[in-house]
A = this chain, B = another copy of it.
């Protein structure tokens, strides 16, 4: 069976689910489950790590968040982009991130996909480096 429409998967509204969604929502870019867990803990809203993972996975399955894989293999989550597709320039030192985006990149992706006969192509682009403050 499955939901007739829309928001799908929420069965019960709980404090912890709301907290996780909240934490993700207030994050500028991608966050690991552990980061979110820490963030919640710091802000006083206790949520078990397992619950963070469970919630994140449900959200991902429901298509409400994007999941990406860091080079190290950890899962990175972010609340689903609105309409505007953009990417992130993340500082590997302090974690600050800037949204960047350019019509040109999107166009290149589309062109490349087409040239190779691929369809339904999505892309993930992450720029990782050192921000001004963390440089030397």
**Interface residues in chain A, defined as those with a beta carbon under 8 Å from any beta carbon in chain B:** 67, 69-71, 73-75, 89, 91, 98, 100, 102, 104-105, 108-109, 112-113, 116-132, 135
Contacts and interface: CB of A to CB of B under 8 A. Distances in A.
Given A98-B116, A105-B108, A73 B71 contact: no
A102 B98 contact: no
Copies in the complex: 2
A100 to B, nearest CB: 5
Contacts of A130: 118-121
Given A69-B71, A69-B73, A73-B75, A112 B102 contact: yes
Contacts of A120: 129-130, 135
A108 B100 CA distance: 11
Contact of A91 (B105, B118, B125, B132): B118
Contacts of A75: 73
Contacts of A102: 108, 112
A127 B117 contact: no
Nearest to A72: B69
Given A98-B116, A112-B102, A89 B121 contact: yes
Nearest to A127: B123
Most buried by B among A67, A69, A100, A122: A69
